[in-house]
Amino acid sequence: MRMSKERIGQWSLGLAIACCAAAVGGTAFAEMGQPAPWEVTLQQPASPVMENIVWFHSFLLWLVTLITLFVLALLVIVVVKFNAKANPVPSKTTHHTLIEVAWTIVPVLILVAVAVPSFRLLFLELDIPKPDLTVKATGNQWNWTYTYPDDKIEFTSIMLTDEERAKMNPAPPRLLGVDNEMVVPVDKVVRIQTTAADVIHSWAVPSFGVKIDAIPGRLNEAWFKATKEGRYYGQCSELCGRDHAFMPIVVHVVNEQEYQAWKKKQQVASRMRDTSYASAAAATR
């Protein structure tokens, strides 16, 4: 009995937290760019697409809640008013034209109310505007290779070990930090192209509302426009093998000046790598 009471208390606490989160509009415990302890809502949006996803999610939550309460009220009325004790002689009515028309038209109107913003959101996600920057993300077992084709930049992003994290201040989130972050400028349209070198992966960053498969031999694309500076974390979202849980994604959103400085540094590093490869190849001949 004692364990039962403890479990009931735990369930009650969890239910109270969830209700409080819903009551404040879905922002409680949400953290910018990464998951947070006790988080019961979506991550805070940092792109126009994610802002629309959050709005649509909240709209559906309230709509489903109202429908559920309405159905519950009908069930309570039926139980109280039409039980055998309160209503010993039941009605033999089999048809009611008004009710039958209402329960056909009202669900249709509800579906239309859901379909219009749903199609609008789908169009927003799939209609890629003119990009300011293109980045190609190639999934490998088990890391990501990022290519900036217009700037001749390429590097591989690998998850940091606990030892590497311990040397950093501040330390990035465990299992989410990487050695080379994908860097993009703020308030710019970024076209993200995905493919894979081996098996199917999936490039996903929740705060941007982006999740797109990376398939060998195929080039998929999506887009985002980061509206706030900072680091945004994601992970491969397709079961891709043994180390599936260890290929995180980090997008570092910076201002234009910082981005240009980073780009020049990466271009120099890429040229040095190309020179080293060429020298090594010549030495083996």
| 215-242 average pLDDT score | 96
Report the pLDDT value the prediction gives residue 28, as an integer from 0 to 100: 46
In this structure, which CATH number among 3.40.250.10, 3.40.50.150, 2.60.40.420, 1.10.287.40 belongs to the domain 133-275?
2.60.40.420
Band the pLDDT of 31: cuts 50, 70, 90: low
In whole angstroms, give the CA distance from residue 81 to residue 87.
Answer: 7
Phi, psi of 221 (to 5 degrees): -150, 150
Report the pLDDT value the prediction gives residue 65, as an integer from 0 to 100: 97
Tokens 């010993």 correspond to: 88
Phi, psi of 177 (to 5 degrees): -75, 150
Rg (alpha carbons) of the chain, rounded to whole number: 26
Summary mean pLDDT of the chain: 87
Tokens in use for 245? Answer: 């849980």
Q: Residue 158 in contact with residue 181, Cβ under 8 Å?
A: no
Cα 270 to the chain's mean position, in Å? 31
Nearest to 41 by CA among 52, 56, 31: 31
Q: Is the pLDDT of residue 6 over 70?
A: no
pLDDT in tens, 131-141: 999 999 999 99
Q: pTM of the full predicted structure?
A: 0.81
pLDDT in tens, 35-53: 888 888 899 999 999 999 9
